[in-house]
Amino acid sequence: MGKLRIEKSSKSNDTVTRTIRINGGTFDRINELAEKNDLSFNSVVNQIIEYGLNNLED
């Protein structure tokens, strides 16, 4: 499995609002990625989730 590449992406109108809890260290890492790539926190979270779902072992 290749590494995740954070990319600039277009916004989707097909969204669902949901509250999740993540630990502080994970939040900090995602926030750093978002700032480094000039993206929103949500965009990075969605890319991480999509990558994980697309690369699940059977």
Domain range for 31? 24-54
Which residue carries 């000039």 as its tokens? 38
In a domain, 1, yes or no: no
Q: Digits of tens for pLDDT over the chain (58 positions)?
A: 788 888 887 667 788 999 999 999 999 999 999 999 999 999 999 999 999 999 998 8
In a domain, 6, yes or no: no
In a domain, 48, yes or no: yes
Q: How many CB atoms lie within 10 A of CB 14?
A: 4
Q: Which two tokens stand for residue 11?
A: 């916004």
Could you list the beta-strand ranges (E) of 7-56.
Answer: none
In a domain, 16, yes or no: no
For position 46, what pLDDT does the model report?
A: 94
Pairwise CA distance, residues 7 & 58, whole Å:
26
- Looking at the structure of the chain, the number of domains it has is 1
Q: Are 7 and 47 in contact (CB under 8 A)?
A: yes
- Which pTM was predicted? 0.82
In a domain, 15, yes or no: no
